[in-house]
Amino acid sequence: MKTYHYIVSGKVQGVGYRFCVGYKLKKLEMKGIIRNLDSGDVEIYLQGEEEKIKDCERHIKLGSPYGKVTNIEREIVDIKEFSKFNIEY
């Protein structure tokens, strides 16, 4: 299973971004984690069915109604398999 790693930049902390995106990714039955970084960005590791990735990326780009995504970096990484999707606070 591929693991996608995202760094999301913009107004993505303090605006409900993790909750909005994390909730949608959980509903799509994806696995991974979403968390804030000290830099002000948000980091996402995402695993799941390939056909759902584009839908997930749409939610990652859309984010929260109170925030604004200005940049998304994406790469495929080798990492352990996640058992569920977690939102870290």
- CATH number of the domain to which 69 belongs: 3.30.70.100
The domain in which residue 60 lies consists of 3-87
Distances (CA, A) of 82 to 2, 19, 86: 11, 19, 9
Mean pLDDT of 62-87: 96
By annotation, the residues acting in catalysis are: 18, 36
Asked if 86 contacts 30 with a C-beta cutoff of 8 angstroms, the reply is no
Q: What is the total count of domains within the chain? A: 1
Residue range 8-24, pLDDT digits in tens: 999 999 999 999 999 99
| Of residues 55, 48, 51, the one with CA closest to residue 1 | 48
The percentage of the chain sitting over the pLDDT mark of 70, rounded to a whole number, equals 100
